[in-house]
Chain A
Amino acid sequence: MLWVALELPALPLQLAERARAEPLPLVVAEGPAQRPLVACANAAAHAAGVREGMAVAAAKALVADLRSIERDEAAEREALERLAGWAAQYTPAVSIEPAGLVLEVEGSVRLFGGLAKLLAALRAGVRALGLQATLGIAPTPLAARAFARAEARGIPVRSCTTIAELPARLADLPLFLLEWPGRTLEHLADLGIVRVKDALALPRAGFSQRFGPEALGVLDRLAGRVPDPRLPFVPPARYRARLELPAEAEGVEAILFPLKRLLAEMEGYLRGRGAGVQELDLVLEHGRRSHTSLVLSFATPEREAEFILSIARERLSRLELAAPTVGLRLVAERLQPFAPREGTWLPGREERAVGRARLVERLAARLGQGRVFGIALAEDHRPERGWKNPPAASSRARFDGGARPVWLLNRPQRLVAGESGPSLQGQLKLLAGPERIETGWWDGEPVSRDYFVAANAAGETVWIYRERRDPGAWWLHGVFA
């Protein structure tokens, strides 16, 4: 077994900060409402002298523009669950720990081209989600967590992949990395026992008697003397994610940055399930009971954050937001199986069709649905009915008439006509015709016309007709462009 632990130090603060691009002094408060204490402070607040455990009032005296957010443990749990859903793309064995995750990756290492590549992918992925995590690698989950926690505290560690090396690598780590109760740690420290190797060297029976079988169990699982099975986290069957913005966002541009992080998280979740979404609800929350919702729909199941963001950007840029946004929500009720197209070396017809569908979606998202369409033939001899504009063109109709112009006018245009015939910026000379089109008597819009190809002196060639009932009147109907 090989475990990777992801430790997210100061998770409450990370959650508050991930939705914004530039950090301002910020603390997360917990404890009694009358006298809240600083649970975590960001770097900007630290620089101004704010420390964990300080009263929020005291911190505000140090930094005038300090923002304070109340700790939300439910949101932390939810964030870890979503991170676990995202991490499921690397291994099915992901479980949630107090401030992070552990992943069993032995089976995935080869798939991702080696441990180094897998770790690099994990690191880059976590960063793209707007989170910071330290990684620990060890043959037992507890050792992996201890390594990750050590790295978060700046204690030098070397990762370890075999159980034989494990005792040596653990030896010098301080015991406080094990999350034992404070009393146990103090008691051990009084005995001069502060490092893992000291604790491992103690007689087992005495250790169990003094500190309880729980603590001995932790040591055994840490060193791999007993197995430490974990229940894998099972991601929910539909995707829901919410992100609270730290400050009200005016307009659309300010939403895109946090939205990108939500979409990256969803992409990981969808990859882990081999799924994509064809319909995605995006809700912008404007405060109590007011929100704007958008439905993004795609021709084929999609999951790439970059692409979905580009569609959302176009749709959002057409919106007039009545109020500033305070939160974002993404909901995908139905997941669709995703046919992977990355990695194909020969783009086939299907890939081209997908590229085209994406182009159409992008154009329609910005210009509006009615402004992007296809062309198809219709079974009708009336020229104005000889075409239609289906959203996705596919027609088996055939055309077998005479010469037809490239452009058809939306409505026939009356031409000036004198004794010598019709004119259009000069006298028109008839080149071909007449072609008689007589049809439509069955539906009350009969057509009985003689069509001609004609050109003026400048060479502009057009398609004109005259009504048989009114031979003096000439109409322009098309242009041989």
Chain B
Amino acid sequence: MNALVDPARFPGVWRAGDVDQAAPAGIASGHPRLDLELPGGGWPRAGLVEILHDGAGVGEVSLLLPALKAVAGEGRAVAWINPPHLPYAPALALAGVPLEACLVVRPASAEEALWSADQALRSGACGAALFWLPGKTDYAWLRRLQVAAEAGRTLAILFRSPSAAANATPAHLRVVVARREGLLQVSLPKRRGPPLVHPIALRLAA
């Protein structure tokens, strides 16, 4: 079987048993242990990622700060769409994220939040866009955001509650984060490759 589907001969093919290392090179997550598990060796440069977390303050945003620093360093914007609180400038500055790259959008309704996310992704101006969508998000809209993220070459990150784990997602990458004894526990229930069921533990900088 292995001889039949030799990935070296078919560059576009990956075995579902392996992590897709032929995926386009990603944005280093700042955590070498996590990069090993991510297809392309980092967060995707263009595509939708779902981060599932229970409660606020488990490190769900901090996990991404090194990647935000990297895309902002390339001169692209970082959009914060409908965040639950104000992104706090000193924390971002400490993590090295250039503040002038940040753009905060506070839409008045769920519909406007979806529209803003779509616009930010499609514009191509944002290297990364983080969004929190209130209420139910249906599959068709997520699919739309996935397509927009690919078109605009943007790392799109949707923060959701773990209850979303039961629903199918068009995102190629789904990440579950939790904090235990000061360490961030990260598992990847969906990625290009076998799911990473046993969480890996990361230490956050702050």
A residues engaging B (CB < 8 A)?
349, 352, 355-356, 358-360, 362-363, 366-368, 371-378, 383, 386-389, 393-395, 398-399, 401, 403-410, 425, 431, 455, 458-462, 478-481
Alpha-carbon distance between A408 and B84 when the two chains are bound, in angstroms: 10
B104 close to A481 (CB less than 8 A): no
The residue of chain B having its C-beta at the shortest distance from the C-beta of A353 within the complex is B75
Asked if B77 and A481 sit within 8 Å, CB to CB, the answer is: no
* Interface 9-mer from B5-13, B16-24, B28-36, B89-97: B89-97
Using Cβ atoms and an 8 Å threshold, which residues of chain A touch B3?
none
Contact A406 B75 (CB under 8 A): no
Give, as a whole number of angstroms, the nearest-CB distance from A448 to chain B: 19
- What are 17 inter-chain pairs, A to B, with CB distance below 8 A? A355-B125, A362-B119, A366-B115, A367-B108, A372-B103, A403-B206, A405-B88, A406-B62, A406-B65, A407-B57, A407-B83, A408-B88, A431-B182, A458-B55, A459-B180, A460-B56, A460-B58
Q: Per a CB cutoff under 8 Å, which of B89, B106, B180 touches A371?
A: B106
Q: Which residue of B lies closest to A401 (CB)?
A: B90
Taking a contact as CB atoms under 8 Å apart, the answer to whether B112 and A367 are in contact is yes
* Chain B residues near A410 (CB-CB < 8 A): 85-86
Question: In whole Å, how far is B159's beta carbon from the nearest beta carbon of chain A?
Answer: 9
Bound Cα distance from A247 to B84, whole angstroms: 47
Q: Which of A388, A403, A425, A459 has the most CB of B within 10 A?
A: A459
B125 close to A352 (CB less than 8 A): yes
Contact B58 A389 (CB under 8 A): no
Tell me the minimal C-beta distance from B66 to chain A in angstroms: 13
Q: Roughly how many angstroms separate A323 CA and B83 CA in the complex, as a whole number?
A: 38
Q: Which residues of B does A touch, CB under 8 Å?
A: 54-62, 65, 75-77, 79, 83-94, 99-100, 102-108, 112, 115-116, 119-120, 123-126, 178-180, 182, 206
The B interface, classified by DSSP as helix, strand, loop or mixed, is: mixed
A61 CB to closest chain B CB (Å) equals 52
- Chain A contacts of B76 at CB under 8 A? 352
Question: A181 CB to closest chain B CB, in angstroms?
Answer: 60
B87 touches A377 (CB 8 A): no
Given contacts A372-B103, A372-B105, A480-B57, contact A358 B125 (CB under 8 A): yes
Q: Which residues of A contact B85 (CB under 8 A)?
A: 407-410, 479, 481
B58: A residues at CB distance < 8 A: 458-461, 481
Contacts of A359 in B (CB 8 A): 77, 79, 103, 119-120, 123, 125-126
Closest chain B residue to A409, Cβ basis: B85
In the complex, residue of chain B having the shortest beta-carbon distance to the beta carbon of A354: B125
Q: Which 5 A-B pairs have the closest CB atoms?
A: A459-B179, A407-B85, A387-B89, A355-B125, A408-B88
Contact between chains at B75 and A393 (CB < 8 Å): no
- Given A367-B105, A407-B85, 5 more contacts at CB 8 Å? A355-B125, A359-B77, A372-B105, A375-B92, A462-B57
CA–CA, A478 and B92, complex, Å: 13
Chain B residues with CB below 8 A from A408, complex form: 85-86, 88
Residues of A within 8 A of B65 (CB): 406
A387 to B88, CA, bound (A): 7
Measured between alpha carbons, how far is A431 from B204 in the docked complex, in Å?
14
CB-CB under 8 A from B116, the residues of chain A are: 363, 367
Q: How many residue pairs between the two chains, A and B, have CB atoms under 8 Å in the bound complex?
A: 164
Instruction: Tell me if B62 and A481 are in contact (CB < 8 A).
Output: yes
Q: How far is the CB of B170 from chain A (nearest CB, A)?
A: 23
B91 and A371 within 8 A (CB): no
Q: For the complex, what is the distance from the CA of A372 to the CA of B113, rounded to whole Å?
A: 12
Residues from chain B with Cβ under 8 Å of A405 in the complex: 57, 88, 91
Contacts of A462 in B (CB 8 A): 57
Q: Which residues of B contact A458 (CB under 8 A)?
A: 54-55, 58, 179
Complex CA gap A401/B88 in Å reads 13
Known: A367-B108, A460-B58, A481-B61. A377 touches B89 (CB 8 A): yes
Is A355's CB under 8 angstroms from B87's CB? no
Complex partner residue of A395 from B99, B105, B115, B182, CB under 8 angstroms? B99
- Known contacts A355-B125, A366-B112; decide if A374 and B100 are in contact (CB<8 Å): yes
Asked if B75 and A352 make an inter-chain contact with CB atoms under 8 angstroms apart, the answer reads yes
Which chain A residue shows the least CB distance to B184? A459
CA A356 – CA B105 in complex, angstroms? 13
Our pick among B107, B179, B206 for the contact of A367 (Cβ within 8 Å) is B107
Determine whether the beta carbon of A481 is less than 8 Å from that of B59.
yes
B49 CB to closest chain A CB (Å) equals: 16
The residue on B at minimum CB distance from A364 is B105
Task: Name B105's closest neighbour in chain A (CB-CB).
Answer: A372
Given A352-B76, A387-B86, A374-B125 contact (CB < 8 Å): no
What's the least CB distance linking A475 to chain B, in Å? 15
Residues of A contacting B89 in the complex (Cβ-Cβ under 8 angstroms): 375-378, 386-388, 399
Chain B residues contacting A383 (CB-CB under 8 Å) are: 88, 90
Most chain B CB neighbours (cut-off 10 Å) among A393, A406, A409, A458: A406
Given contact pairs A352-B125, A460-B56, A479-B85, A399 touches B90 in the complex (Cβ within 8 A): yes
* Bound CA–CA A408/B88 (angstroms): 6
CB distance from A411 to the nearest CB of B (A): 11
Contact present for A459 and B178 (CB under 8 Å): yes
User: Nearest CB to that of B178 among chain A residues?
Assistant: A459
Identify A404's interface contact among B75, B88, B124, B125, CB under 8 A: B88
Is the pair B57, A481 in contact by a Cβ cutoff of 8 Å? yes
Residue in contact with A393 in the complex, picked from B86, B94, B102, CB distance below 8 Å: B102
Is B104 a contact partner of A372 (Cβ separation < 8 A)?
A: yes
C-alpha gap A377/B79 in the complex (Å): 17
Bound Cα distance A425, B76 (Å): 38
A372 to B120, CA, bound (A): 12
**What is the CA–CA distance of A138 and B120 in the complex, to the nearest angstrom?**
50
Find the A residue at minimum CB distance from B124. A355
Q: How far is the CA of A362 from the CA of B76 in the complex (A)?
A: 17
Inter-chain contacts of A401 with B (CB < 8 A): 90
For A481, the chain B residues whose CB sits under 8 A away are 56-62, 85
- The answer on a CB contact under 8 Å between B59 and A461 is yes
What is the CB-to-nearest-CB distance from A409 to chain B, in angstroms, rounded to a whole number?
6
